[in-house]
Amino acid sequence: MTRQQTAPASQRPHPAIARLKRQRRNKQRGLIAIALLFAFFVMGLPVLAIFARAFQEGLGIYWANIIHPETLHAIGLTVLTALIVLPINLVFGICAAWAITRYTFPGRRALITIIELPFSISPIVAGLCYLLIYGATGLVGEWLDTYDIQLMFNLIGIILVSLFVTCPFVARELIPLMEIKGRDEEEAALTLGANGWQTFRYITLPNIKWALLYGTILANARVMGEFGAVSVVSGNIRGETMTLPLQVQLLYDDYNATGAFAAATVLTLIALLTLIARSVIESAHPHHH
Amino acid sequence: MTLHVNDISKSYSNNPVLDQVQLTIEPGEFIALLGPSGSGKTTLLRIIAGLQFADSGSLWFDQIDMTAMQARERQFGMVFQNYALFEHMSVADNVAFGLKMRSGKTRPSKKEIAKRVTNLLEMAEISHLADRFPSQLSGGQRQRVALTRALAIEPRLLLLDEPFSALDTKVRKGLRKSLRDLQRNVGIAAILVTHDQEEALEMADRIAVMNDGRIEQFDTATNLLRNPATPFVADFLEGLSNYMTEGAGI
């Protein structure tokens, strides 16, 4: 930000001021150049490379790779996982945010901390923990195994770890917002004769809807892109439990680089859409972030 | 339509906030709960509203025990300290809210609701604000909307939680009279919570002076000033004796 200082016309600018301004300008240019170069080499170029490599052998080959049954199945499984995980997350996020901001109870602080845990724990560790507990020889898994219920190495396992890694997103968006808003409007609604559901539907929800959408979009990007945790519990069964990121890895290991990059473009497009949706929401409702 | 507050006690984790409070409010009467902050007046108002519940004691209104009745069933209109207007709704929608939330049989038709909202806005002299949103209103206008919204549910009692504290001094004085006039026109009893002695003296028929969770004295302004029952009352109203006769502000 340069601030032009207007001096009376009769006065000449002090020579030291001119030097100062020049230095400032150089500093600015330097910082901008560093930021742009960094962004280009670290983020821009690799993303462009994905598309360049995927289309290298022509559009026909690219398309053939996309519609390969295994890749299509991976896309389908990824979307299915998101469709199941996100609504559960939404409900949990609202419940958790409501409990934390509207009630005081023993364990409230612990709940705030534990909601954030998936952000700080490595996903692969999370996957292993799930295997330990819900796997066939695990605490819960062994007991369920006697009823012929298997939780790991199938869709259920993928959903469980996806829930774990995305658990914080919605609640995290809602908690600060609901804290600031307070409960005044909700109490006003109650005194006006609204019941609990009406209060939520007509007062709380309109106030949090953008934060809710924002959190869901972030969670969606995470569900669809998750590799580590899912790879531990999915069992990596070809054409069955391969989500899109796992499929990319599989194709690459099979020396099918074009196929791997073609699948990767799908993930990248999802990421770009997320980014666009995010900035649309932010520009429409800038107060959230 | 008399409200009886019988021996209401309430404490937060062993800290007593209200200690056997007794109060009777006659139909049409304007009562002030006056006291310093922390004296329990807001808690008492919230218990009367049904937003909080007493540990012991009972609340009777119109010969019905409503101690455990939910806020939404009490049909008491409440004006909150910061007005708690629904920021995402227009003024007209704010006022219509209580009527729209009514269940099946008791809910008026859309046409009827619109008509009643128009009448209410007219009565409160804020018809021109109908399509505005709360963020576009001044403090005084917000207070008007909050009051109109509370009156829309045809309340049986009006509860006012420091309704002037969010306004600056100049606006405050002008609005006291207009609020009192509106309450008289509607003809329902009202309870005003305030820490402002002058406000209580000017507006209320009777004043309950509260201290440390108890009502020290409940009487008319004149009697409070002439015969303070406790040293606290005398102290708290000190310097105001001239106010009644001369009408001068502090």
Mean pLDDT, residues A191-212 taken together? 94
Which residues pair with residue B79 across a beta bridge? B160
The band of B250, judged by pLDDT with boundaries at 50, 70 and 90, is very low
Least confidently predicted of A172-181, A257-266, B168-177: B168-177
Amino acid letter, residue A228: G
Q: What is the pLDDT of residues B122-151, one digit of tens each?
A: 999 999 999 999 999 999 999 999 999 999
The band of B249, judged by pLDDT with boundaries at 50, 70 and 90, is very low
- The distance of A267 to chain B (nearest Cα, Å) reads 37
Taking alpha carbons only, the member of B228, B227, B226, B179 closest to residue B204 is B179
Contact B71 A184 (CB under 8 A): no
- The distance of A131 to chain B (nearest Cα, Å) reads 43
User: Mutation test of the interface with chain A: which of B79, B82, B90, B101, choosing the one with the most A Cβ atoms within 10 A?
Assistant: B101
Mean pLDDT, residues B225-232 taken together? 94
Taking alpha carbons only, the member of A71, A62, A2 closest to residue A32 is A2
What is the distance between the alpha carbons of residues B234 and B224, in angstroms, rounded to a whole number?
A: 8
What is the distance between the alpha carbons of residues B246 and B237, in angstroms, rounded to a whole number?
A: 16
The ipTM assigned to this model is 0.92
Q: Contact A164/A118 with Cβ under 8 angstroms?
A: yes
For chain A, the domains span 12-54, 59-288
Contact B80 A198 (CB under 8 A): no
pLDDT at residue number B248: 42
- B78: closest chain A residue by CA: A191
- Nearest by CB to B72, from A185, A194, A203: name it: A194
Torsion of CA A68, A74, A78, A81, to 10 degrees: 130
Mean pLDDT, residues B213-237 taken together? 94
Q: Contact A116/A166 with Cβ under 8 angstroms?
A: no
- The distance of A174 to chain B (nearest Cα, Å) reads 17
- CATH class, domain A59-288, is mainly alpha
Mean pLDDT, residues A78-96 taken together? 95
Q: How would you list the strands of the sheet with B15-25, edge to edge? A: B15-25, B3-12, B56-61, B64-65
Q: What is the pLDDT of residues A209-225, one digit of tens each?
A: 999 999 999 999 999 99
pLDDT exceeds 70 at position A83: yes
* Max CA distance (Å), chain A: 94
Taking alpha carbons only, the member of B22, B28, B27, B29 closest to residue B2 is B27
Residue A117: CB atoms within 10 A of its CB come to 12
